[in-house]
């Protein structure tokens, strides 16, 4: 019997953090601008799902690199990872999104580099 995975591969926030720190992966945040401004992971790259769905290219810092795709709770990032995988990118979904990221004690900053929040 063969088992087929549905959707993109998924990683925990801790795994995503390690891959971005140690393996050159990019944390790609696909939330909308107001969500991003309130709080995001340091070093993350912003590319709203709405823009990606409209055909926008990845930001230069994310092109040609493994992508750890994150949103607020994990729903949009899953869709974005599927879209990007379909375009040939190496993209995985971060389970639980920024809520899980913050709950794991990982850093969150706002646009000014101060302590951020996840709405």
Q: Which residues are catalytic?
A: 71
Rg over alpha carbons for the chain, rounded to the nearest Å, is: 13
The 3-state DSSP class for residue 67 equals strand
Those residues with Cβ within 8 angstroms of residue 6's Cβ, 6 or more apart along the chain or in another chain: none
């Amino acid at each position: 019997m063969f088992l087929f995975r549905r959707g993109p591969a998924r990683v925990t926030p801790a795994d995503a953090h390690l891959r971005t720190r140690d393996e050159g992966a990019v944390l790609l945040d696909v939330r909308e601008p107001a969500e991003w401004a309130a709080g995001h992971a340091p070093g993350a790259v912003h590319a709203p799902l709405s823009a990606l769905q409209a055909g926008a290219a990845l930001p230069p810092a994310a092109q040609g690199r493994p992508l750890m795709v994150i949103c607020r709770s994990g729903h949009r990032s899953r869709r974005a990872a599927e879209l990007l995988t379909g375009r040939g990118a190496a993209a995985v979904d971060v389970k639980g999104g920024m809520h899980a990221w913050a709950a794991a004690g990982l850093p969150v900053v706002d646009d000014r580099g101060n302590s951020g929040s996840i709405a």
